[in-house]
Homo-oligomer: A and B are copies of this chain.
Amino acid sequence: MVKPYNQMKQLGDNSTEEKILDAAKEVFMKHGLYGARMQDIADTAGINKALLHYYFRNKEKMFDKVFDGALAKFFEQLDVFSNNELSVKKRLFIYIDNIIEFYAEYPQMSMFIIKEIGNNPEIFKEKVHVAKKNKTLRLIHVLEDGMKNGEIKKIDSAMFMINLQSLCSFPFLASPMFKYSLKAQGKDWEKDFNSEKLKQSVKNFVEFTLGK
């Protein structure tokens, strides 16, 4: 017998499973695997704690689901580097736009991933292998090609990547601190910071560092 339409699993809307996943994302991002409390997740989702186990069996499995989703989205951002039709700088600019919009939506993401790598490098390795499938992490590779064919200046590609990631992700991660710190100096985070400004600032950095 076929189930009626409104009883089928409806992910993406406000089905219970989705509510739980959203709540879990929020709480896990804030407190990590150890620090998160099942009751806290249940309260955030507005449901009974037993339902968490009904849908996800246990805490670790739930965490895995959240983490896998986060990781997949994270790696999607790297796809642009595989597009060899575009110039190195063009690819970098697109990446900057995408990754900053991504972090604006998931400010805790990088910390979440960093913590997980630290806690469990082996499992992470395996997950990444699944997540990226046949894609490759090409940022550095693309840079070094660009240097060889004279498209960009000769730079320290590893340090460039580190600087770039720092500029793009830390502002969102540290927004509570910046909010506070700016207010103490007579500035206003909401006014003085936004994604568009940051994009421009990072692009300036890239232009200065790679431009010939």
Tell me the bound Cα distance from A173 to B169 in angstroms. Answer: 11
A185 engages B139 (CB within 8 Å) = yes
CB distance from A100 to the nearest CB of B (A): 12
CB distance from A196 to the nearest CB of B (A): 11
B37 engages A113 (CB within 8 Å) = no
The 0/1 profile, CB within 8 Å of B marked 1, for residues 160-196 of chain A is 0111011101110110111011101111000011000
Interface size, A (range): 35 or more
Given the interface pairs A37-B34, A137-B181, A174-B110, the reply to whether A158 lies near B118 with Cβ below 8 Å is: no
Interfacial residues of chain A within 36-63, with CB under 8 A of chain B in the complex: 36-37
Residues of A in contact with B (beta carbons under 8 Å apart): 30-37, 110-111, 113-114, 117-118, 121, 124-125, 128, 137-141, 156-159, 161-163, 165-167, 169-171, 173-174, 176-178, 180-182, 184-187, 192-193, 197-198, 201, 205, 208
